[in-house]
Amino acid sequence: MDAIRTENLTRRFGNTVAVDRLSFSVAEGELFGLVGPDGAGKTTTMRLLTAIMDPTSGDAWVAGCHTVREEAAIKDSIGYVSQRFGLYQDLTVSENMNFYADIYGVPRRDRTEKIDRLLAFSNLAPFKQRLAGNLSGGMKQKLGLACALIHTPKVLFLDEPTNGVDPVSRRDFWRILYQLVRERVTIFISTAYLDEAERCTRLALLHRGRLLALGTPGEVKQLMRGAILELRTSDARRAAVLLRKELPDCTVGLYGDRIHMVTSEPDATKASATAVLQGAAIAITVVRQVPPTLDDVFVSVLAQAEVGARHE
């Protein structure tokens, strides 16, 4: 049975379509990623699936329950960590855990053992008497996750849980998620970090409320049209601006000190790019063809979507 299923799920706010006819399914025990930039509709989708908000049209089922007709049953079956999870800053870690245990009706006879296990699981046991307001960003996110797991949910929803969290805490957070998947918890996570999306079993690319692509990371990468040329130069930012101007048929992306160019003719583009940069006295240290990353695919798919939207 699918843990999550949607059929033409749509949500409008006035004339704005935030979620546009989404249809997909998530299998039990899957780690599913919803990927898109700010404003793509990720949080609205999450709120629809967690029965916080009703759709304008369409349907969704979570853990076998309809999100509108069986709202109460859904809330007993899920855990949800929003972008600003409701931790109480003036309560300790342990007190927050007990508070959420009360909300979810966790029996007191099982509570101490369950809280101790979750605190150990999230590496928070040494900090259980610390005020939540004095925790680091990464520790707050892990505490939010522990609170969401207190009632052993079947499906866990995480809305950009590592946004603004340091790299070490992000790595620890994902280690915990992998452990949950091994315990057959279904995880639905939204993220703007494409390197994180690579870690999901399957993912969906979302833009302006529409589903642009759906599949495993490998399958999504196959949507890439053209080849990727990677360039490293003495001035990557100026080089990218120049290449966008002089080679408008190529999609140019800047990733730190690297430039990626999407092209259907890699050899000809390599020669043209080299000539453009040499003419501007920008030294090229590396130019080579590389396999596409999810960043490249997303930029390419978005460009195709924008072209399609202009012709609608």
**Average confidence (pLDDT) over 102-106:** 89
CATH number, domain at 152?
A: 3.40.50.300
Residue 312 has pLDDT above 80, yes or no: no
d(CA 135, CA 147): 15
Same domain, 16 and 151: yes
Residue 310 has pLDDT above 80, yes or no: no
Q: What digits encode the pLDDT tens for the residues 1-47?
A: 799 999 999 999 999 999 999 999 999 999 999 998 888 999 999 99
Confidence of residue 164 (pLDDT cuts 50, 70, 90): confident
**Average confidence (pLDDT) over 270-284:** 95
**Average confidence (pLDDT) over 264-277:** 94
d(CA 34, CA 22): 12
SS3 letters across 239-262: HHHHHHHHCCCCEEEEECCEEEEE
Q: What digits encode the pLDDT tens for the residues 177-233?
A: 998 999 899 999 998 888 889 999 999 999 999 999 999 999 998 888 889 999 999
Structural domain ending residue among the three candidates 168, 193, 221: 221
d(CA 277, CA 56): 51
Q: What digits encode the pLDDT tens for the residues 108-124?
A: 888 888 999 999 988 89
Would you state the structure tokens that stand for residue 268, as one six-digit string?
């000809």
Residue 253 has pLDDT above 80, yes or no: yes
In a domain, 312, yes or no: no
Confidence of residue 307 (pLDDT cuts 50, 70, 90): low
d(CA 155, CA 25): 13
Domain that holds residue 10: 2-221
d(CA 260, CA 73): 48
CB-based contact 2:61 (threshold 8 Å):
yes
**Average confidence (pLDDT) over 39-63:** 96
β-pair type (78-81, 227-233): unpaired
d(CA 257, CA 234): 9
Same domain, 11 and 87: yes
